[in-house]
Amino acid sequence: MAVIKDRQVVSDNWRLLKSPAETSSITDGADVVVPAEFWSLHSESLLARSGKSGVWLDSHHDPATIAGDLPRLDLVAINFPQFTDGRGYSIARLLRERYGWRGELRAIGDVLRDQIFYLSRCGFNSFQLRDGEDAQSAVSALDDFSEGYQTSVERPQPLFRRRVDGSTLNS
């Protein structure tokens, strides 16, 4: 399927398994993203396969629950049940800034081009858009703004620490 990854539209082989029922079809070689509950019960057998393993969190999940497993994962996804549910933005920052996740962080669910700029600032580097959305035209939204005032995953130093007019710290 087509996703935006590191600012490119690519097609990849990750299979997103939305419910535990779908997990019965997992094959040895498939790259699968499983629900967090399923992962907590079956991580050993998933990792014993030759395919890659990823986990998706829903917006009410606490990322602390998978923090210890991050070194064993190839992908973490965060679901947006509606794009107006902003909890995933905080979850992403926690995964990146507190739990040290450096791998692929994917936004899934109700993901639209008009939100991906903020999502990327919070640490998402891949986006599986809502069905029917055009990934190619959405990429440009990553450049909607050239700067941001705050600390963010993309730019950990806030603007006031990065100014070059000599009036701020050099940190």
- The gap from C-alpha 130 to its chain's centroid, in whole angstroms, comes to 14
Closest CA to 89 of 63, 62, 118, 61: 118
Ordered DSSP codes for 94-123 = IIIIIS---SEEEEEES--GGGHHHHHHTT
**Residues with Cβ within 8 Å of residue 68, at least 6 apart in sequence:** none
144 forms part of the interface with other proteins (CB under 8 A): yes
The Cα–Cα gap between 163 and 15 comes to 43
122 binds other proteins (CB under 8 A): yes
Q: Could you give the CA distance from residue 135 to residue 112 in angstroms, rounded to a whole number?
A: 9
**Min CB(159)–other proteins separation in Å:** 7
Stretch that binds other proteins, among 3-11, 41-49, 65-73, 163-171 (CB under 8 A): 163-171
Q: Which is nearer to other proteins, 131 or 147 (CB)?
A: 147
Q: How many residues bind other proteins (CB under 8 A)?
A: 38
Question: Is 58 an interacting residue with respect to other proteins (CB under 8 A)?
Answer: no
Q: Is 158 in the site for other proteins (CB under 8 A)?
A: yes
Q: Does 121 bind other proteins (CB under 8 A)?
A: yes
161 near other proteins, rule: CB under 8 A: yes
Q: Rule CB under 8 A: is residue 160 a binding residue for other proteins?
A: yes
Task: Give the C-alpha separation, 125 to 121, whole Å.
Answer: 9
Binding mask 71-100 for other proteins (x = CB under 8 A): ------------xxxxx-xxx-x----x--
Amino acid at 10: V
Does 65 help bind other proteins (rule: CB under 8 A)?
no
**CA-wise closest residue to 66 among 45, 27, 35, 88:** 35
Q: Is 149 in the site for other proteins (CB under 8 A)?
A: yes
Which residues are at the interface with other proteins (CB under 8 A)? 83-87, 89-91, 93, 98, 112, 114-115, 117-119, 121-122, 144-152, 156-161, 163, 167-169, 171
